[in-house]
Chain A
């Protein structure tokens, strides 16, 4: 079970601080609501604090998708600059800043991964990842082996294979549902439907209250 630290902001709304994030150097910026408000005021210490607490998490997600340090750093830079330029994109009532930033990094990383510039490199990486075989099942097995969180791996393994494959191939390798449909040889609509049912089952298994997003 994921441990969380819950705080209450000055308006009485709760905020969540992820336990493995560094403790805030500036106590004033402890909760996400205050952090967002301070970013809206364009106070530079808020961005610095956000980077200190979540920079490595953001980089980790970007690197997990892109597998290249310089590209992951580019995405990390873009995520924090976007946070500074458009802090209103983060809505604390819908989740934590950490979750918001990680998903922003995931989305930007996938955009980059799918771009023409990196398509060839991705194919090489996937060939390397799947060793001698490029069969989707083999790729999925390798993806599952690399998942570091036992809780996430267990939750995925409890899914039916036809639900697990699209989610793993899309989320961890950055394929669109169309790409997944091509890989698996099933209709696109079927892939989308399986993603939906799989996500609903994952919700039952994962503690998602702690890590909503903005």
Chain B
């Protein structure tokens, strides 16, 4: 673990990171057990500091529980009692066997889907399957931070095009959307709003791509996400 990243994890635990850094540090913590351990330790300290807030505070509104219950859609009665630097994209520098196997699997899946698709104008799926066979292309998986289950697969073409395919993803309510984020060097950039029930989405990233993340947001997407990612891929350094 780099010293700088360790420092960022401490600031993250204290809720002292600017919002544009939360996603990238949060993703790193979720995929690195050592960082996760440091984060947990710092969070325990942060939880104890909460005791320092003044004990004397105004009374809460008697209707606050009612607001919570209505917002949660429940009818329970009110509770009694109170209440990663060169210019070459990382995926092109990382020619690992794992990438090769992953690429073969993705190509196979896409090819099967392609055979079953319509023989008309090329769909995003057709384009993704074609991109996966291009020289220099890489295939990666975006996994759920909690379970490491593959949630999305992505084909990353050498010219910056990318195709994201949903693997196992619940559809969202109509007022919510999935949003794709690209981590380029130390910046987190929105790479597209995917919709509430995405299938295959095309995106483009310029620069040194070191990671991808997907968050759940309000319809239309957001400029800066404050939500935990539902799926993450981080390139090996």
Contacts and interface: CB of A to CB of B under 8 A. Distances in A.
Contact of A195 (B16, B61, B64, B74): B16
Contacts, number: 204
A178 to B, nearest CB: 6
Interface residues of A, number: 75
A76 interface: yes
A53 B79 CA distance: 9
A35 interface: no
Secondary structure of the A side of the interface?
Answer: helix
A4 to B, nearest CB: 12
Interface in A143-162: 146-149, 151-153, 156
A134 interface: no
Contact of A103 (B43, B51, B58, B226): B43
Q: B interface, how many residues as a size bin? A: 35 or more
A183 B71 CA distance: 39
A94 B15 contact: no
B10 A213 contact: no
A25 B80 contact: yes
A212 B43 contact: yes
A28 B20 CA distance: 42
Contact of A199 (B10, B65, B79, B82): B10
Contacts of B79: 25, 48-49, 51-52, 55
Interface of A: 22, 25, 44-45, 47-49, 51-53, 55-57, 59-61, 63-65, 69, 72-73, 76-77, 80-81, 84-85, 88-89, 94-96, 99, 102-103, 106-107, 110-111, 114, 146-149, 151-153, 156, 166-167, 170-172, 174-178, 180, 189, 192-193, 195-196, 199, 202-203, 206-209, 211-213
